Amino acid sequence: MAEFDVDLFVIGGGSGGVRAARIAANYGAKVMVAEEYRMGGTCVIRGCVPKKLFVIGSHVHQEIEDAAGFGWSIGQVSFDWATLVANKDKEIARLEGAYTTNVEKSGARIVKTRAVLDDAHTIRLATGEKVTAKYILIATGGAPNHGPAVPGIEHVISSNEAFHLKELPKRIVIQGGGYIALEFAGIFAGFGSDVSVIYRGDNILRGFDEDVRKHVRAEMEKRGITIITGCTVTKVDKHGRDFTAHLSGGSSIAADQVMFAIGRHPNVKGLGLEAAGVAINPANGGIQVDGWSKTSVDNIYAVGDVTHRTNLTPVAIREGHAFADTVFGKRPVQVDHATIPTAVFSQPEVGTVGLTEQEARAQFAHVDIYKADFRPIKATMSGRDTRVLMKLVVDGASDRVLGCHIVGDAAAEITQAVAIAVKMKATKADFDATIALHPTASEELVTMRTPTARHVRQAAE
């Protein structure tokens, strides 16, 4: 009789957990996956995928406006929110089915129920069944964080509810200044809502390059989005179907919806972590792990947003794959969390990889900046008042490109390709030696010859 019921028990059917389960099963492990909600996790069900579909849909209004400059005369158009939501739901259901099928094809078993740790090797299911496992992987992801409770917090929605609204709000107040807040600001504005963004910091996109932050804010404001910084929502009143968001500065804004997108917290509550001896990282509230994604308990691992390291779907997938390779494939793999490309599907779009100018200047004595801020070719005919930002951060001593930051159409698509060069430690000379692809916006990345700024830190006497 086997010592354990399964070789691997995965708690969470999102991107990281599913990848780990499939790879471990392919190595011959007996695997069970518990998911209490829907297979696919945050990204597929209520994150990246539905968000990107909404972003694409919200671009259409601008495309129609821009068409006139190219000779198109488009008659009266209309938009139906309910159709968008229904079609999105159909696509999400299709993807959920694909995730489920792929796990089952690998030989792993899925149980649609909540799972809690009883001890380091025992998992208790909500059905009452107990399962023993040689290894346990926690991949329960994260959830929206509403922050400190303010009066009327019960009237506030998160990104979860935003995907299922019965109707498009004519006016919406969004608190937050990061990925989710700005992406939904662009979505609702694109569909015609009056949007106000409230953020407590001095400017949106904290942690991004300063030029990116300024550029995105200016472009969003050009598109009619109100951005109020250095401020928070202190109270939300409900009057029938309407709301009033009271701000810390003393003013208030009337709205049909109030949404908070002020961050996410790891899903660690009620998992039985204490019973199993799994430690929480006091610095970020996620499960504490080492470079191999191992927790404080030798046979228990954690990947993805529940660790609160780098909360991006491809990172969770890479961590889940590396875990399975290491533990079941006997091929030790550590994930390199440096130089991870990321995108904000705001409007305009942001793509970035590597160091910001501020980070580079803190780490390197000589930093060269190459920057282009220009009107894209489409705008010369559409007449739209918009500009693109391209920026390279270079180590002046080694000539290595340390970072690339792009704001404009297709920024994410361009950045994915540039990320390969940055990961390979390409130099500015390598970029310069690459022939431009004309006419494109991205040709600026290989034609910028003169630094717009040079920062040389003098050695202490």
Q: Tell me which of 121, 265, 438, 455 is the catalytic residue.
A: 438
If you ran DSSP here, which 8-state letter would residue 14 be given? B
Q: Are 196 and 175 in contact (CB under 8 A)?
A: no
Per the DSSP assignment, residues forming a β-bridge with 125 are 115
Distance CA 357, CA 370 (A): 10
Two tokens, residue 182: 């700005």
Q: Are 144 and 51 in contact (CB under 8 A)?
A: no
Which ranges of 36-140 does DSSP label H, i.e. alpha helix? Answer: 41-46, 48-67, 81-106
Task: Reply yes or no on whether 405 is catalytic.
Answer: no
CB atoms within 10 A of CB 9: 28
324 Cβ neighbours under 8 A, 6+ residues apart: 19, 20, 21, 22, 23, 24, 27
Distance CA 250, CA 236 (A): 13
191 Cβ neighbours under 8 A, 6+ residues apart: 57, 58, 61, 79, 81, 168
CA distances from 256 to 25, 54, 200, 292 (A): 48, 19, 22, 46
If you ran DSSP here, which 8-state letter would residue 305 be given? G
Amino acid at 440: T
CB environment 76-88: b (16+ within 10 A), e (fewer):
eeeeeeeebbeeb
Q: Are 337 and 325 in contact (CB under 8 A)?
A: no
Judge if the upstream peptide bond of residue 151 is cis by omega within 30 degrees of 0: no
Going 414 to 415 to 417 to 421, the CA torsion angle's sign is positive
If you ran DSSP here, which 8-state letter would residue 397 be given? T
Distance CA 391, CA 422 (A): 13
Angle separating helix axes 48-67 and 81-106, nearest 10 degrees: 140
User: How do beta strands 226-229 and 194-199 pair?
Assistant: parallel
Amino acid at 362: A
194 Cβ neighbours under 8 A, 6+ residues apart: 170, 171, 172, 224
Residues marked as catalytic: 438
